[in-house]
C-alpha cells in the first residue's frame, strides 16, 4: 500500500524506538494508531531501505526510459522481418535487445503490417480445369435464365475436429504489402463430426449433423431419409426447378450415392 507522508514519518520514528526491529515496530504502530491502516513488517522494511538509500521517506521517481530508435536499430528490425516474416515482435525484441514497443514503432513507421493467416481449401491439379468448365456452364445457364442460380441448392459440410486447429492469431506475416499468406487445409479427410447445410435462393436449409466420418453409406441415408424433411417448407414450384449442387467430397460420388 502507498503511505502518506505522515504515516511514513511516524513509522520511521517508531523504527528508531524499536532499534530497527520491523516486526516489533509493526506491533507498536498498531497499538499506537488503532484507527489507521496497519502496515506489516515487510512494509516497514521497505520504508527503512528507502530511507537508508535516499535519506527521505518520499517515494522514488523513476524516469521513463525513452526507447532508442536510430538508423541502425531500424535496419536491424527490418532485416529480421525480411529474413523471417513470421518472427514475432517479442522474438525480435529479445534478439536485438530492444523494447517490444520500439520494435512495433519501427515496423509501423515503415508501414509493415502483421498480415493474418488465411485458410484455403486444398486443390488437385484437375480442379482448376473443372472450375473453368463449371464457370462456362454457369454462364450458359444464365443466358437462358437470368436468375438461374436462385434455383440451385448450394450445399457444403463443415468439419469439427477433436485434434486441435490452426490458431490464426499467432500466425502472421510481416511485410509492407499484403502477401496474401495462405495455408492449405483439407478438413474432409480427418476423423470429425460433420455438419451439412444448404442455401436455396433466400432459404437456409439445415443444419444436419453426421455423427462420425462422412462416407457414401451415411450420405445416401441422408439423401433418402433426411433431405426431404429439410426441404418440406420449400414451395413445390421451387423444388421442381431445383438443381442439387455437390462438391468433390468422395462421399458424394460413391457408387451408392450416384445410383440413388
Cell triple for 120: 484455403
Instruction: With a cut of 50, say whether residue 63 has pLDDT above it.
Output: yes
The mean pLDDT of 63-76, rounded to a whole number, is: 74
* 195 beta partners: 158, 209
Answer whether residue 184 shows pLDDT above 80. Answer: no
Instruction: Say yes or no to pLDDT of 137 above 50.
Output: yes
Residues 117-130, mean pLDDT to the nearest whole number: 75
Give the pLDDT confidence score for residue 221 in this predicted structure: 86
What is the band of 172 on the pLDDT scale with cuts at 50, 70, 90? low
Q: What is the pTM of this model?
A: 0.42
At residue 26, does pLDDT exceed 60? yes
How much is the pLDDT for 180? 65
Say what the pLDDT of residue 169 is: 47
- In contact, 217 and 235? CB cutoff 8 Å: no
Kindly state the average pLDDT of the residues 81-99: 87
- Residue 29's pLDDT band, with cuts at 50, 70 and 90, is very high
- 188 pLDDT more than 60: no
Q: How many helices (H) and strands (E) does the chain have?
A: 11, 8
Q: What is the DSSP letter of 39?
A: -
Q: Which of 75-89, 104-118, 160-174 has the highest mean pLDDT?
A: 75-89
> What confidence score (pLDDT) does residue 186 get?
57
**pLDDT at residue 167, rounded to an integer:** 46
Question: Per-residue pLDDT averaged across 221-247, rounded?
Answer: 87
Q: Residue 37 in contact with residue 22, Cβ under 8 Å? A: no
Amino acid at each position: 500500500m502507498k503511505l502518506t507522508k505522515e504515516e511514513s514519518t511516524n513509522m520511521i520514528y517508531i523504527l528508531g524506538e524499536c532499534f530497527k526491529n520491523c516486526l516489533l515496530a509493526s506491533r507498536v504502530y498498531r497499538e499506537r494508531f488503532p484507527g489507521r491502516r496497519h502496515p506489516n513488517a515487510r512494509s516497514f522494511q521497505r520504508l527503512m531501505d528507502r530511507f537508508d538509500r535516499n535519506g527521505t521517506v518520499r517515494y522514488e521517481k523513476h524516469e521513463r526510459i525513452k526507447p532508442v530508435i536510430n538508423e541502425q536499430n531500424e535496419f536491424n528490425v527490418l532485416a529480421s522481418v525480411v529474413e523471417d516474416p513470421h518472427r514475432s515482435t517479442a522474438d525480435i525484441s529479445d534478439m536485438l535487445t530492444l523494447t517490444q514497443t520500439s520494435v512495433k514503432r519501427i515496423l509501423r513507421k515503415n508501414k509493415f503490417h502483421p498480415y493474418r493467416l488465411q485458410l484455403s481449401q486444398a486443390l488437385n491439379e484437375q480442379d482448376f480445369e473443372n472450375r473453368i468448365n463449371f464457370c462456362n456452364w454457369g454462364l450458359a445457364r444464365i443466358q437462358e435464365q437470368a436468375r438461374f442460380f436462385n434455383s440451385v441448392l448450394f450445399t457444403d459440410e463443415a468439419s469439427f475436429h477433436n485434434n486441435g486447429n490452426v490458431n490464426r492469431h499467432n500466425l502472421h506475416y510481416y511485410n509492407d504489402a499484403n502477401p496474401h499468406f495462405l495455408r492449405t487445409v483439407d478438413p474432409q479427410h480427418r476423423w470429425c463430426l460433420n455438419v451439412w447445410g444448404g442455401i436455396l435462393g433466400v432459404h437456409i436449409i439445415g443444419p444436419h449433423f453426421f455423427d462420425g466420418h462422412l462416407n457414401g453409406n451415411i450420405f445416401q441415408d441422408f439423401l433418402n431419409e433426411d433431405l426431404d424433411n429439410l426441404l418440406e417448407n420449400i414451395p413445390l414450384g421451387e423444388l421442381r426447378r431445383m438443381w442439387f449442387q455437390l462438391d468433390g467430397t468422395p462421399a458424394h460420388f460413391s457408387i451408392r450415392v450416384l445410383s440413388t
